[in-house]
Structure 1
């Protein structure tokens, strides 16, 4: 019988404990040293330091409303002054004139500021926004796809002008670009004058002396408006009457330059009915139709005789959200409430629709050729418009270029950069800012935008 092994005098080590861990030692904690209390934090100092470290907001963020600043004039004056392109000819509107025009109009019940923006939008495409000051802080806006007419003998003299949102007046200062909203440049800016409507029963006036020309004789000038009526009041009255006759005193447009804006009863009713409906989120592809010529309209024609071309309507797409970032539930709700307020009032935050503008209502715009100094002549059964040079004119007698020469270059006053008739709006590849001399591609580069996809299909009116 086997004998039982006696117990071992030593303990058997745990096979699951590593040998290097058997050398661990435990040391007691050090005695705590007295701490010195930190000085109190100044909230204003920390806020100023953080604001100093933050970069200034981009022009696109200011334009979209996602960033706010206190002094728009100072911000954009500094910004545009730093982006003026070097050229042998200075821009048509200097920075000082650009600033003084806005200073005289902002917050002023007598202000009559206008701006024409070239907007290359990814959805709506290239178009030109005519904005007219309607009160101390706001301006009404019309989108014109092919820009303002500049050839009195064009077969496409008329334009569709579609009402858009009422903007804040400081939007007149903006040149910016982003991948979501495209490029925006100042094509021209200045002041406007509302002219009285011409009546078919009134005697004819001297075409060489426009209604507001300082050289017009007193007996040929229209009756002066009451001293209490400002240009904003006259614009409001003409807007309610659906017939606006306006002279634009720009830095680039010919002088004089007079337009007629008309709204038919049919388009008025259609625009109001569209405005009260729910907004559509699905775009409908337009059917191709045979091109139809637009009849020339004047103040003597009936309200329902104007015929427009649907192809000239600027697609509604400028109200889409400018940024696709992720939003919190509260931020999304606030934005939806703001969008609902914009749709209900047809005015962006900060602007006031005191004129009764209706979104997407279509007006008809045409060049007032007689007020611009043109006279009609007939030769071999053809009607032509030419500038009335008056007695002592040179041999060409104001004849306009024919179709074989009008596709060359526009007539430009070299000394001042002012256009002369005929002129043609040629789009983003050719048109430059009246303030900085930049094209749309230059603004994209200055703003660091590299992934913009433009809408194709825009062609200038050159005939």
Structure 2
């Protein structure tokens, strides 16, 4: 992450009166007891923003998460701190395949979900998902937009934090990924991948033959170059065999990094905000959701502009990688990918008769119970069991003003 001053820089609208919490406002004893940090350790938001550094990110974050974990219903899917530590440690090598899905409640970009996939010992590609991952095979909105953002450090996977400027960040799910082979259509051989409107496998598709001995991160690297990824996410809360497909259309496949970020005027008052389109008013499987894309661009712009070192800002923009990460995979800032639930690989089959004819259904133990991503007011961390509001409270953030109008896709 860039060396920044995001804890002091006002970027969060609207400008209302509120008490701003800084490191100096919290007594040492309170910092120790309420945040689970030693007196000489920096706050989480300072580490995330690059304003402070630590030698051992795993120990620093895991000890804090242990301290703030909630006791919940035993049936709630969560990863114990011991498993959290082991998962990260066993992927601390060049062929690691760690992934995380963060729920980010940002004051400007609003609620969105960040999918980060490790591709080297130090770095992860990152996609911002405005409405999270799809979980219903027969949803009217099976397609989602995935906005390519800056390459992150792998240690960013460990973060749960909050501040007025960046909002709250919690671990919605965490685990390891597998890259499944690309499938080839038997029918419509003249149709190219760029012309197809659906990237999911259907009846009549065969997997590529032969066993691939490469590591998952190596396969991820190659799939990223060919603009197509079929990922099975072995998460804590995601169901068994949960698989998604990511495709970058040729129309979005640009090579240069943007020279200048898009700058948006700050909203002065919530009542003057321009209404955003209802995310469920379109029948398109691939609604570009332009308003959300612009908001995510604003989010990235704010993070880059937060640095006091202009040369570092220039480097981050030109390389599309935060300080400490390396963009060796060729990620391009703000390219829009299409993401779909891979129904067949997830275990669903298409019903051929009966009242569900034409729908995707479970067969025996295959498939999973449909789910919906319901947003910051409902979702909890897969590690600590906290909600966005509880993360804010634990980090001493009071009077946070969230962006409104985010709606979950529930049909």
TM range (shorter): 0.7 to 0.9
2:266 pairs with 1:279: no
Separation (CA, whole Å) in 2 of partners of 1:53 and 1:462: 43
Larger Rg: 1
Once the two structures are TM-superposed, the CA of residue 55 in structure 1 deviates from its matched residue by 3.3
For each residue in 1:103-160, what CA deviation from the matched residue of structure 2 results, as whole angstroms up to 9, or x when unmatched? 0112x12210000000000111100000000111010000001110000010001100
Going from structure 1 to structure 2, the CA distance change for 1:386 and 1:65 (only over 3 Å counts) comes to: same
Unaligned runs of 5+ in 1: 1-51, 203-218, 296-305, 326-330, 399-419
Separation (CA, whole Å) in 1 of partners of 2:395 and 2:55: 21
Q: Does the Cα contact within 8 Å between 1:130 and 1:143 map onto a contact in 2?
A: yes
2:119 pairs with 1:134: yes
Q: Does the Cα contact within 8 Å between 1:149 and 1:157 map onto a contact in 2?
A: yes
SS at match of 1:444: helix
For each residue in 1:393-440, what CA deviation from the matched residue of structure 2 results, as whole angstroms up to 9, or x when unmatched? 9xxxx8xxxxxxxxxxxxxxxxxxxxx420010001100000000000
- Output aligned runs, 1:259-338, within 5 Å: 259-269=244-254, 272=255, 275-283=257-265, 291-295=281-285, 308-311=288-291, 313=293, 315-321=296-302, 332=308, 335-338=309-312
2:365 pairs with 1:384: no
- Output aligned runs, 1:334-345, within 5 Å: 335-345=309-319
Going from structure 1 to structure 2, the CA distance change for 1:86 and 1:287 (only over 3 Å counts) comes to: closer
SS at match of 2:299: coil
Q: Does the Cα contact within 8 Å between 2:259 and 2:317 map onto a contact in 1?
A: no
For each residue in 1:50-94, what CA deviation from the matched residue of structure 2 results, as whole angstroms up to 9, or x when unmatched? xx9963100000000000000000011110000111223265111
Q: TM-score, normalised by structure 1?
A: 0.69
Separation (CA, whole Å) in 2 of partners of 1:124 and 1:318: 6
Once the two structures are TM-superposed, the CA of residue 231 in structure 1 deviates from its matched residue by 1.2
Once the two structures are TM-superposed, the CA of residue 276 in structure 1 deviates from its matched residue by 3.3
Separation (CA, whole Å) in 2 of partners of 1:459 and 1:354: 36
Q: Which residue of 2 aligns with 1:423?
A: 371
Q: TM-score, normalised by structure 2?
A: 0.78
For each residue in 1:2-24, what CA deviation from the matched residue of structure 2 results, as whole angstroms up to 9, or x when unmatched? xxxxxxxxxxxxxxxxxxxxxxx
Going from structure 1 to structure 2, the CA distance change for 1:309 and 1:88 (only over 3 Å counts) comes to: closer
Q: Which residue of 2 aligns with 1:403?
A: none
Separation (CA, whole Å) in 1 of partners of 2:318 and 2:207: 45
Going from structure 1 to structure 2, the CA distance change for 1:151 and 1:323 (only over 3 Å counts) comes to: closer
Separation (CA, whole Å) in 2 of partners of 1:131 and 1:53: 29
Once the two structures are TM-superposed, the CA of residue 384 in structure 1 deviates from its matched residue by 1.2
Unaligned runs of 5+ in 2: 1-36, 188-205, 267-272
CA root-mean-square deviation? 2.8
Q: Which residue of 1 aligns with 2:333?
A: 359
Once the two structures are TM-superposed, the CA of residue 101 in structure 1 deviates from its matched residue by 0.7
Q: 1:459 aligns with which of 403, 407, 410?
A: 407
Separation (CA, whole Å) in 2 of partners of 1:98 and 1:282: 38
SS at match of 1:236: helix
Q: Does the Cα contact within 8 Å between 2:123 and 2:327 map onto a contact in 1?
A: yes
For each residue in 1:349-401, what CA deviation from the matched residue of structure 2 results, as whole angstroms up to 9, or x when unmatched? 000011101111100000010111111115469521111117xx9xxxx8xxx
SS at match of 1:172: helix
- Output aligned runs, 1:228-247, within 5 Å: 229-247=214-232
Q: 2:394 aligns with which of 430, 446, 459?
A: 446
SS at match of 1:340: helix
* Greater RCO (CA < 8 Å, at least 6 residues apart): 2
Once the two structures are TM-superposed, the CA of residue 221 in structure 1 deviates from its matched residue by 9.2
Separation (CA, whole Å) in 2 of partners of 1:259 and 1:220: 15
Q: Does the Cα contact within 8 Å between 2:70 and 2:384 map onto a contact in 1?
A: yes
Once the two structures are TM-superposed, the CA of residue 307 in structure 1 deviates from its matched residue by 6.3
Separation (CA, whole Å) in 1 of partners of 2:132 and 2:277: 23
Separation (CA, whole Å) in 1 of partners of 2:244 and 2:277: 29
Once the two structures are TM-superposed, the CA of residue 315 in structure 1 deviates from its matched residue by 2.8
Q: Does the Cα contact within 8 Å between 1:268 and 1:361 map onto a contact in 2?
A: yes
Q: Which residue of 2 aligns with 1:100?
A: 86
Once the two structures are TM-superposed, the CA of residue 277 in structure 1 deviates from its matched residue by 3.1
For each residue in 1:176-234, what CA deviation from the matched residue of structure 2 results, as whole angstroms up to 9, or x when unmatched? 000000000001111001110111139xxxxxxxxxxxxxxxx9995211x3x221111
